[in-house]
Amino acid sequence: MIALGTSSWSFEAWRGVFYPESVSKTGMLAHYACQFPTVEVNTSFYALPAPTTLIKWVESVPQGFTFALKFPKRISHEKRLTDCEAETRALIDALQALGDCAGPAFLQLPPDFSRQR
């Protein structure tokens, strides 16, 4: 299956173009999810969302919708995939909190990443 989506759902500049003017900031995800089946969660690169936030997201989308969480930078850029078991466990916990709405988790490595570094 191929699922197309964007890198977020809360672009204020989309108001009046993609989002009706009447859609509230908190209603953007529900509106987005009626148009696309998936979305990238780039904010997880900076901090994993709280479990209560994840539950609110799941409750805002239709069945079959998926969230693609980005690996936290602590794993990819700071620890560079080394000694990051606790951080990886936290990411897995977040994915599990999404339940059936968990999509792929994706890893963006720094440009200078290599086997030697």
Tally of domains within the chain: 1
Structural domain containing residue 24: 5-101
DSSP string, the chain: ----EES-S--GGGBTTTB-TT--GGGHHHHHHTT-SEEEEGGGGT-PPPHHHHHHHHHHS-TT-EEEEBPPHIIIIISTTSS-HHHHHHHHHHHHHHGGGB---B----TT--TT-
Is residue 114 domain-resident?
no
pLDDT tens track for 52-79:
999 999 999 999 999 999 999 999 999 9
Question: Which CATH number characterizes residue 97's domain?
Answer: 3.20.20.410
Question: In the numeric block, which tokens belong to residue 96?
Answer: 């599990």
Q: What is the pLDDT of residue 114?
A: 86
